[in-house]
Amino acid sequence: MGMKIITENIGPLKGRFYLDLNSPVTVLAGDTGTGKSFLLRILQLLISELAESLDVSRLEDKLCEEFGSIESIISTGEEEGRVTLEYNGETIADVLHHRLLGDGSSAHGKQITVNKWRGGIAPYSDLAKRSIIIPDARIAIARMVMEEGHVSRLSPSEGIYAEFLCSLRNNNDWSLNESLEALRREGVLLKAGRSCFNKGIIEGLDSRVQSGAVFAFLSLAPAIKILHEGRAFLVAVDTIETQITPFLQGVIAVNLARWAKMGWKNKESPAPLLLVTHSSTVLAALSKEIEEGVDDRAVYVKERVEKSDVRTVVLYREDGEVKWGISEGIAMPAYLREYIRLI
């Protein structure tokens, strides 16, 4: 049950591919260029459009704006690509993408054909509106805390939050621990304590580098909120491993997974977590969590994640094509196993 994503000949993923989000945590792992972020971008666009009634021209325009052209979405050498979204066994979106003919025309009249669309219809529109997809946290970490629209979602008290952001923007000196303590009191960091940053791993770094670590928590606060409350198709996060220390990479991944487990356990319509990564640190932290639990004050969610709560979908290259495999628990891609062996 829950969300299922099925693609045929989309981007690097030739042939049929599917992601079945029927567990609290699904990890999508793979090397650069295997289609992880590509898949998340098209998923983000379709789910955002599902909040509204179908407008084919608008959908086509947004696809072209995001990918440059409809042809860019279709796998090389194929005439058409397809994306199908299912929820609880019902097809809620089925979109075909057609390549132009040699004369610039389309055999289908338009470059996309929508066979099924349940957008704008409750409960699907509400589930779509509450879904959070962060396709590139390298950008989102800064953007989400800077955009005014997210201030109320992060904290009802804008005074300390605004003062904190002003310090970062102006690159003024500020005390990391004092700022974190104030933010924690105001609820911005939810239950995250300042112990997350008391490991000595970022002492001596300037405020810009330190702020990157704080951004990681602040930008993911809306995702944690939806994991906790449910009533969404999914929460998807890509690239949490950029510009933060390995310790914090693991802390964020384990906390997110535990929030997903807790929400899955307690809610009638839980929001599954789709965690997209190529980081050996993130995968190693989740693997340790499954095998023995991560015992650290910085992991502040009590609900431990077990093997049955996690599925890993690994994308890999073989004979020049991207292929994929599924396993229960955490599976370390071959290229990362070789990297770990070498270091």
Residue position matching structure tokens 């989400």: 144
CA torsion angle 10 89 275 17 (round to 10)? -30
Most confident of 65-79, 161-175, 321-335: 65-79
DSSP secondary structure of 194-208 = GGGG-SSSSTT--HH
Burial class (CB in 10 A: 0-12, 13-18, 19+), 225: middle
pLDDT at 336: 58
The residue type of 133 is: I
Task: Yes or no: say if 98 and 81 are a contact pair by the CB < 8 Å rule.
Answer: no
Q: What is the mean pLDDT of residues 186-212?
A: 37
| pLDDT tens by residue, 35-57 | 998 999 999 999 999 999 999 99
Number of alpha carbons in the 13 Å side-chain half-sphere of residue 218: 27
In this structure, of 10-19, 31-40, 50-59, 99-108, the range with the lowest mean pLDDT score is 99-108
Give me 338's structure tokens: 């070789």
